[in-house]
Amino acid sequence: MMNNYTPIKQIGKTFLNHVTRWLNKMPEQRVILLLAFVVGLGSGLAAVLLTKAIHFFAWILVGWFKTPSQSILYFLYPGVGMLLAYIIVKFIVKDNIGHGVTKVLLAISRNESKIKPHNTWSSILTSSITIGFGGSVGAEAPIVYTGAAIGSNIGSKLGLSYKNITLLLGCGAAGAVAGIFKAPIAGVLFTLEILLFNLSMTSILPLVVSSVTATTITYIFRGQSVAFANTLTEFQLSNLPFYLVFGIICGFASLYFTRMTLRIEDKVAKMINPIRKWLICSVGIGILIFIFPPLYGEGYGCLTNLLNNKDLEAVGTSFFSKYFSIPWVLPIFFTGVFFLKVFSMSFTNAGGGVGGTFGPTLFMGGILGFVVSRSSNLLGLSLPETNFVLVGMAGLMAGVMQAPLTAIFLIAEITGGYTLLMPLIITSAISYATIRSIEPYSIYTKRIAKRGELLTHDSDQAVLTLLKITNLIEKDFTPVHLNDTLGDLVNAISRSKRNIYPVTDSAGMLHGVVNLFDVKEVMFKKERYDKDFVYTFMKSADDYVRIDERMDNVMKMFEITGAWNLPVVDKDGRYVGFVSKSNIFSAYREQLQQVSHD
């Protein structure tokens, strides 16, 4: 009989056992710091690999474009990339890997922070093809998913607790953001604001270690220059009112981005035929990019040009070039780019591509800053356009992601724009406050919050989100049949240690319950054993718990009914078991220790 393990797997298992035994001899805090360094190393290398792959594909495909006639290939490339990514996901990965940040949040709340091993490479491969071929999405969400998967799998393989696996997952995400942007502070803040809500100060140190390590790796392979070179002007206090107004504009623009993106994705998702869906999305994004070349790929080249007052170069190879000498044509053109970026991004993801909304948020924010400042200047004002491009990037990110600190420090780090820290803070804060008053959830959390699967800063709510009914079901209750006699019921009572007996039919459907106290007066009258039946003593249960019920709803049922035990049924109404208040409280205390991160 052949061994279940290949020699390579056996060597890997032996090595892992040695590492585990070695780590068990070290203090926990030291182990976590060491693993945070390893996770940061992996996340940094993954970020470098993804960035290089995207640039390689872009250089091969569009680096030789010289004339508008050659840009006809803009129409074809994105569809090809989406198709290749779809084939890889469908036939090799065989898993849904889109919306990386949302998937990480779900892993934390619903899957004990465990992410499948293939996510350590699948998002890099598919997103580099998608974006390299011109898909109008960002690489940041895929690399966050990759970094989180690296941390999660290292923690899982070493048999760490949920708390420490979650912390390493956060280290991976922090390292991924820090690595791809060369922004260690932003990497830590991203994890704190968006992913991990209940960290103590001692838990932040591993995040810092991972972020700095990943940034160092990126410096080695990509140099130490800022991600977005720019020519900014010094902040003038006289422009403060304009940044205040601009913050409000960014807030409403963020609302447009969030709601329009989700609406388009929902409509396209209703298409059942994948070929038809791919074809429609490919044609749609091809037309958009052909007309508006800045929509091609991440759009970071366009942003860099706008940050250096090279507005005509930011347009790319466009058929509208001959009209740009007319003053208002350029801002109108970029207004179209702003509003249509959401469509090109959604088409890319829905058509089979793999990418995120992180990059498009930066892109649209920069475009919005240019449109607002250029339009204002054409009306007679004198606003620094490059400054507004930079501040717009932060303003839209603060609104869409609802993470103002991440937005402020990320933009400051990737542009070196610390001289504009004041307008960054003002615009980001007002943008966040504006959208928060209308939309309580970010683009990452809106859907999962509706399903009750989002962890929050509220420890009680976080614990309830993590608890699962399936793990709390008690199955030592003895069921009785609806048509059983009193004698059958007495036999069931003699075998059971419980006082409640679920009543089911031949199909297993739950009809009610019998309480021991309701039959104790007749259970010793043998002359009635064949005359009385279970349905005579049956009562309706105080309430029923669906097996997929949210735990906060279950707790409300207990509160309303005053019951101590409630029956659990599957989606068809078949009896599964009972859930008790005491069991929930015990699980709550255990989970609270995991969530608290003391």
Domain assignment present for 458: no
- Is residue 511 located within the same domain as residue 423? no
Domain assignment present for 217: yes
Q: For position 1, what pLDDT does the model report?
A: 40
Q: What is the mean pLDDT of the chain?
A: 87
- Is residue 107 located within the same domain as residue 169? yes
- Is residue 340 located within the same domain as residue 270? yes
Q: Residue 211: pLDDT above 50? A: yes
Lowest mean pLDDT among 105-109, 458-462, 539-543, 578-582: 458-462
> Could you read off the pLDDT of 297-325 as tens digits, one per residue?
888 989 999 999 998 888 877 777 777 88
Helices (H), 63-181: 77-88, 100-110, 122-132, 140-157, 162-181
Nearest to 288 by CA among 330, 345, 326, 360: 345
- Is residue 268 located within the same domain as residue 378? yes
Domain assignment present for 111: yes
Nearest to 79 by CA among 385, 290, 367: 290
- Is residue 545 located within the same domain as residue 583? yes
Query: pLDDT band at 553, cuts 50/70/90?
Result: confident
Amino acid identity of 412? A
Domain assignment present for 129: yes
- Is residue 406 located within the same domain as residue 261? yes
Last residue of a domain, one of 222, 254, 275: 222
Domain assignment present for 12: yes
Q: What are the C-alpha distances in Å from 80 to residues 60, 87, 536? A: 14, 11, 68
Nearest to 162 by CA among 240, 109, 220, 125: 109
CATH label of the domain that carries residue 574? 3.10.580.10
- Is residue 104 located within the same domain as residue 251? no
- Is residue 434 located within the same domain as residue 583? no
Nearest to 36 by CA among 240, 206, 180: 206
| Mean pLDDT value of segment 293-298 | 89
Q: What percent of the chain has pLDDT over 90?
A: 48
Domain assignment present for 227: no
CATH label of the domain that carries residue 362? 1.10.3080.10
Query: pLDDT band at 30, cuts 50/70/90?
Result: confident
Domain span holding position 531:
463-596
Q: Evaluate whether 402 touches 441 at the Cβ level (below 8 Å).
A: yes
- Is residue 149 located within the same domain as residue 108? yes
Angle between the 201-222 and 28-62 helix axes, to the nearest 10 degrees? 40
Q: What percent of the chain has pLDDT over 70?
A: 89
| Mean pLDDT value of segment 235-260 | 95
| Mean pLDDT value of segment 313-340 | 86
Q: Residue 591: pLDDT above 70? A: no
Q: For position 8, what pLDDT does the model report?
A: 59
- Domain count within the chain: 3
Domain assignment present for 214: yes
Query: pLDDT band at 334, cuts 50/70/90?
Result: very high
Query: pLDDT band at 533, cuts 50/70/90?
Result: confident
Burial 499-530 (b: 16+ CB within 10 A, else e): ebbbbbeeeeebbbbbeeeebeebbeeeeebe
Last residue of a domain, one of 431, 453, 475: 453
- Is residue 467 located within the same domain as residue 449? no
Domain assignment present for 229: no
> Could you read off the pLDDT of 57-86 as tens digits, one per residue?
888 887 665 555 556 777 888 999 999 999
- Is residue 202 located within the same domain as residue 180? yes
Q: Evaluate whether 71 touches 317 at the Cβ level (below 8 Å).
A: yes
Q: How far is C-alpha 331 from the geometric centre of its chain's CA atoms?
A: 33
Q: Residue 257: pLDDT above 70? A: yes
Q: Residue 7: pLDDT above 90? A: no
- Is residue 336 located within the same domain as residue 203? no
Query: pLDDT band at 464, cuts 50/70/90?
Result: low
Last residue of a domain, one of 384, 419, 453: 453
Torsion of the alpha carbons at 244, 245, 249 and 254, rounded to the nearest 10: 10
